[in-house]
Amino acid sequence: MVHLDVELAPINGSCFTSLSEGIPFTRQDYFELVGWMGWTL
């Protein structure tokens, strides 16, 4: 197994955020992510 030391970008709730400040997402994106996580667990 390979372990990589990678720093993840922060998640920012604004869809107007530049990628250098964090990962932008919309409210709909968040709800879809929560839904998918619920199905996988």
User: In this predicted model, what pLDDT tens digit does every residue of 5-38 receive, in sequence order?
Assistant: 877 777 777 767 676 777 778 888 888 988 988 8
- DSSP 8-state symbol, 5: -
pLDDT at residue 5, as a whole number: 82
pLDDT at residue 7, as a whole number: 78
pLDDT at residue 9, as a whole number: 74
pLDDT at residue 4, as a whole number: 75
Separation CA 37–CA 22 (nearest Å): 21
